Amino acid sequence: MRGLWMELPPFSPDTSGFASALSGTDGMGLIDDVRGCCGNYYGSEETRRGIPIRVFVSELGNEDAVLGTEGVLTRRCRALAEQLSPAFVLLCGSPIAALIGTDLEGIAGKLGRALGLPVSQVDLSGHGTYEEGLSKTLEAMARALSGPGERRKETVNILGANHLDWSGGDMAALRKWIADGSGLAVSAVYGGETTLSELRGSGCAGLNWVVNVSGLRAAQWMQERYGIPFLRGAPFGAAWSRALLDQAAKGGADWIPPAPGTGGGRALLIGEQYTCDALRRLLYENYGFSTVQVCSFFRMDRGCMASGDRRLWEEDELTQLLGEDFDLVIGDPLLRRCGPSRGRWIDLPHIPVSARLYDDLRPSLLGAGADRWLAAALEHSDTEED
Q: Is residue 258 part of a domain?
A: no
Mean pLDDT estimate for the chain:
92
Q: Is residue 2 part of a domain?
A: no
Q: Are residues 25 and 72 in the same domain?
A: yes
Domain count, the chain: 3
- Beta carbons of 188 and 135 less than 8 angstroms apart: no
**What's the average model confidence in pLDDT over 295-318?**
95
Q: Where does a domain end: 117, 144, 171?
A: 144
Confidence of residue 385 (pLDDT cuts 50, 70, 90): low
Q: Are strands 28-31 and 328-331 parallel, antiparallel or unpaired?
A: unpaired
Q: Is residue 7 part of a domain?
A: no
**What's the average model confidence in pLDDT over 67-77?**
86
Q: Is residue 4 part of a domain?
A: no
Question: Which residues are bridge partners to 266 per DSSP?
Answer: 291
Confidence of residue 120 (pLDDT cuts 50, 70, 90): very high
Q: Is residue 27 part of a domain?
A: yes
Residue 70: which H helix or E strand, with range?
A: helix 70-84
Q: Are residues 165 and 226 in the same domain?
A: yes
Q: Where does a domain end: 76, 109, 144?
A: 144
Q: Are residues 347 and 378 in the same domain?
A: yes
- φ, ψ dihedrals at 45, nearest 5°: -125, -30
Which pTM was predicted?
A: 0.94
Q: Are residues 166 and 49 in the same domain?
A: no
The candidate with the shortest Cα–Cα distance to 297, out of 277, 280, 318, is: 318
Residues 6 or more apart whose CB falls under 8 angstroms from that of 318 comprise 270, 295, 297, 312, 335, 338, 339
Q: Where does a domain end: 144, 163, 187?
A: 144
Q: Which of 169-178, 210-219, 250-259, 296-305 has the lowest mean pLDDT?
A: 250-259
Check whether 93 has a pLDDT greater than 80. Answer: yes
What are the pLDDT digits (tens) for 229-242?
A: 999 999 999 999 99
The candidate with the shortest Cα–Cα distance to 166, out of 86, 85, 272, is: 272
Confidence of residue 384 (pLDDT cuts 50, 70, 90): low
Q: Are residues 105 and 212 in the same domain?
A: no
Q: Are residues 233 and 335 in the same domain?
A: no
Q: Are residues 195 and 228 in the same domain?
A: yes
pLDDT at 25: 95
- Beta carbons of 132 and 17 less than 8 angstroms apart: yes
**What's the average model confidence in pLDDT over 275-301?**
97
What CATH number has the domain bearing residue 274?
3.40.50
Q: Are residues 37 and 128 in the same domain?
A: yes
What are the pLDDT digits (tens) for 326-358?
A: 999 999 999 999 988 778 999 999 999 999 999
The candidate with the shortest Cα–Cα distance to 78, out of 39, 122, 121, 28, is: 28
Quote the percentage of the chain above a pLDDT of 90: 77
Q: Is residue 227 part of a domain?
A: yes
pLDDT at 382: 55
What CATH number has the domain bearing residue 151?
3.40.50.1980
Q: Is residue 305 part of a domain?
A: yes
Higher pLDDT: 343 or 163? It is 163
What are the pLDDT digits (tens) for 4-38?
A: 888 999 999 999 999 999 998 999 999 988 876 77
Each as own residue / partner, the long-range contacts of residues 60-65 (CB below 8 Å, 24 or more positions apart, any chain) are: 60/32, 60/33, 60/34, 60/35, 60/96, 61/34, 64/96, 65/96, 65/99, 65/100
Q: Is residue 23 part of a domain?
A: yes
Q: Are residues 37 and 22 in the same domain?
A: yes
Check whether 360 has a pLDDT greater than 50. Answer: yes
b/e code 32-41 from CB counts within 10 Å (16+ = b): bbbeebbebb
Provide the domain limits for residue 294: 266-385
Q: Are residues 272 and 372 in the same domain?
A: yes
Q: Are residues 169 and 238 in the same domain?
A: yes
* E runs forming strands in the chain: 28-31, 55-57, 89-92, 119-122, 152-159, 185-190, 205-210, 230-232, 266-270, 291-296, 310-311, 328-331, 344-347
pLDDT at 386: 46
Q: Are residues 31 and 110 in the same domain?
A: yes
SS (H, E, C) 175-208: HHHHHHHHCCEEEEEECCCCCHHHHHHHHHEEEE
